[in-house]
Amino acid sequence: MSRLMKHARALYENVERRVAQHTLHRLLDHCPLFHQKIGTGYGGWFIPNGLLSNQSLCYGVGAGEDISFEVELINQYGCEVHCFDPTPRAQRHVDQLHQNTINGIPTSINDAVDLYYKLDPKCLARLHFHAIGLWSQDRTMRFYAPTNPAHVSHSIVNLQHTTDYFEADCRTLQTVMQTLGHSDVSLLKLDVEGAEYEILASLVDGHIRPDVLCVEFDEGYNPLDDGYLPRILNMVSRVKTCGYRLTHVDGWNATFVHRCAMAESERNT
């Protein structure tokens, strides 16, 4: 392919992506709650004010080497936070954060030279890490490597069409909650490199309804094929059918709030 053709293709894909994101924005629902982004520009998420407290339980699925969102859930709201990621680099990163925090040593976020976690050692008890993946079944799955070896995120659905992989245990959300002794969860974040469809489908078909859902639709960045946008829009519609409102979109990060949580917040204001 010539250089000119590659440039034209890149322009076309950029326009196509912008059109697709505009289509996703059209599904936004009215929400009276103010949203703020917590965490870094890369790893942060927009969540509504007034729904979380020190009584809230949060699950962050997909950690990588930036758990600034999870750490800020603890710092700002006092939440109990559980992180899930079977990737060895992610586990080493969180282990290093724990050790450095105990020893009073700053830990950089995503190997940045100017971004560091701010975590009081007293808050470490609220941060938990589990080296497992989330899926629609309890089984061992393959996690395929990214094309760039400097990147940490691996994909069950092989978003980047690579051949290297590692295998890891995966559990359903229901199994995880039963194992940990949790009857409900206030916030569920899914940054799972394409596995969000299976996990969300399992959630929709089940009875677990977190107050807040934060979902990255990774196909927006690495489409498996030309049908990626209908898949994303269809899943957004399915999530809405079980009581959720799409309250914020940031790139391909979508924030959903369950109508019961929204109504409770409105009654308390």
Residue 168 in contact with residue 86, Cβ under 8 Å?
Answer: yes
Using CA atoms, how far apart are residues 87 and 168, in angstroms rounded to an integer?
8
How many Å apart are CA 191 and CA 188, to the nearest integer?
A: 10
Q: What pLDDT score does 180 carry?
A: 98
pLDDT number for residue 267: 73
C-alpha to C-alpha distance for 212 and 49, rounded to whole angstroms? 11
- Determine the pLDDT at residue 83: 98
Residues of the chain with pLDDT under 70: 1, 4-16, 269
Residue 6: the pLDDT is: 62
pTM: 0.93
- How many CA within 13 A on the CB side of residue 146? 15
Would you state the pLDDT for residue 22?
85
How high is the pLDDT of residue 14?
A: 64
Q: Report residue 91 as tokens.
A: 């586990």
Question: Which are the contacts of 53, defined by CB distance < 8 A and separation ≥ 6?
Answer: 77, 78, 79
Domain spans, the chain: 3-267
Angle at 69 between CA 235 and CA 143, to 5 degrees: 55
The pLDDT score that the predictor gives to residue 168 is 98
Query: CB of 127 within 8 A of CB of 137?
Result: no
Measured between alpha carbons, how far is 120 from 137 in angstroms, rounded to an integer? Answer: 36
Question: For position 256, what pLDDT does the model report?
Answer: 98
pLDDT of residue 231: 95
**Cα 152 from Cα 83, distance rounded (Å):** 15
Tokens matching residue 212: 């807040």
| Secondary structure of residue 103 in the 3-state scheme | helix
Secondary-structure class of domain 3-267 per CATH: alpha beta
pLDDT of residue 225: 92
Q: CA-CA distance, 210 to 10, in Å (whole number)?
A: 38
